[in-house]
Structure 1
């Protein structure tokens, strides 16, 4: 069993153990297991561990096909999942949009201030003065009773069908770069065109997340597929590592979220 951990980072061990327990539950109970909302890295880990294991399958759904955060359903071969099995509710926030506008962080902060853990709700959608969010359906009554304001603005929430989710498409601007190493400070310095010293300062102040977790080690080794979030600079992703140059530098292809 120990050998499975070599495929994952040390800080992912706890989640790997959780996935193994979910798999065991499905095997023993011969029944489906629904997870909370997982970020893309967690979804990837579930896929890797469940893989093509005979008898168990996995599907992910977050309320719309392009959702970033999704609930996952692990289930035996006999089971055929339907949308309602993912138990996701969608709410739209009604507020005086002519006079106030919200950002993702404002909605996120207000939801978490109610005592909800981040994994209990999915994507937050903001476009053209409209704001929506997905939440685990078991919290529908709670959220309708308790969600009354965002910041200092009084709001009202209205339940919508999943088909009424607004479309918010992410656009990535591709960037090619050459870096001396795959250390976090070197990679982010190249992606965002900021000095290595500035990058190290941001890392030291806890302003950088890799795969949705704060990382404070500039020597952290980046891998293909990693997501980065840099406070004040936006989000990016390492699309590909294309090998080394003749001068022993790494060629990388990254994407910066527009």
Structure 2
């Protein structure tokens, strides 16, 4: 069974458990491509209440979570509020790692040391790094194991605690604003502008499945984008289409982009 079919099969099993046992169920953490697969599954199962949840609104790695009818949540924001009031139901735990080392640790340092312990990638969500340490989102069933066994990242010792998810520390990234004009609001045009590549290269990347709009994989270069959309080109970064303006005399469209560094 290939990876895509396995992801769908796991999600289908979690849906069945939710419906038969009237309980919250969830997958492991999914990347944006895998979330797209589960989104398609949810579209074909309209009677199922399913959401994507990563612990904070802009999370990139998220679980697909299925909830029974007694939980009154209609949006992902509603679900987040529900977990703030019912912490015992939250399938995620926030682990805060602090260090006193002289060398700054990177995302790769934390992720590499966790997976070196045998922890599967689907048990680990976003890792938000700052100079003093990192906030690491994990599946709740892995939290105790990590707290007991995870003591070092590279050669740097760590001090671990459990923190409330509502107090997650989101690092302030450097944002560069860019203004440009595009022939149309087709995805390939905007991706080419945002990431400084040709339209043909942008279209190839989109067809290759490495471009995501609002965390969903999009493979059609002609898709139109909207103000506020978040665009990700895997390996290149993240951009938000901040503003769509008027048109030039040659009918090109003014756009403003927020480029996350």
Q: Normalising by structure 1, report the TM-score.
A: 0.64
Question: Is 1:33 aligned to residue 51 of structure 2?
Answer: no
C-alpha separation in 2, matches of 1:175 and 1:41: 29
Q: 1:91 aligns with which of 91, 95, 111?
A: 95
Per-residue CA deviation, residues 204-250 of structure 1 (Å, 9 max, x unaligned), is xxxx9545xxxxxxx9958557853454x53346899xxxxxx9x99
Per-residue CA deviation, residues 150-194 of structure 1 (Å, 9 max, x unaligned), is 2222323222232432133567646656489x898x876543325
Q: Superposition RMSD on alpha carbons, in Å?
A: 4.7
> How far has the Cα of 1:146 moved from its partner?
2.5
The equivalent of 2:15 in structure 1 is 23
Question: Is 1:76 aligned to residue 76 of structure 2?
Answer: no
Q: 1:107 to 1:171 in 2, by over 3 A?
A: same
> How far has the Cα of 1:120 moved from its partner?
0.6
Gaps of 5+ in 1: 1-9, 212-218, 241-246
Per-residue CA deviation, residues 61-99 of structure 1 (Å, 9 max, x unaligned), is 3233443323332122124563432322222222125x2
The equivalent of 2:238 in structure 1 is 235
Q: 1:255 to 1:158 in 2, by over 3 A?
A: same
The equivalent of 2:77 in structure 1 is none
Counterpart contact for 2:241–2:258, Cα < 8 Å: yes
The equivalent of 1:137 in structure 2 is 140
Aligned length: 234
Counterpart contact for 2:100–2:157, Cα < 8 Å: no
Q: 1:210 to 1:18 in 2, by over 3 A?
A: farther
Gaps of 5+ in 2: 73-81, 213-218, 244-249
Counterpart contact for 1:58–1:72, Cα < 8 Å: yes
Q: How does 1:36-51 map to 2 (within 5 A)?
A: 36-43=28-35, 45-51=37-43
Q: Normalising by structure 2, report the TM-score.
A: 0.63
C-alpha separation in 2, matches of 1:183 and 1:79: 37
Q: 1:103 aligns with which of 106, 109, 115?
A: 106
The equivalent of 1:166 in structure 2 is 169
C-alpha separation in 1, matches of 2:242 and 2:44: 25
C-alpha separation in 2, matches of 1:171 and 1:19: 36
Q: Which consecutive segments of 4 or more residues in structure 1 shift more than 6 A?
A: 237-240, 249-254
Q: 1:170 to 1:60 in 2, by over 3 A?
A: farther
State which drifts further: 14-23 or 142-151: 14-23
Counterpart contact for 1:179–1:251, Cα < 8 Å: no
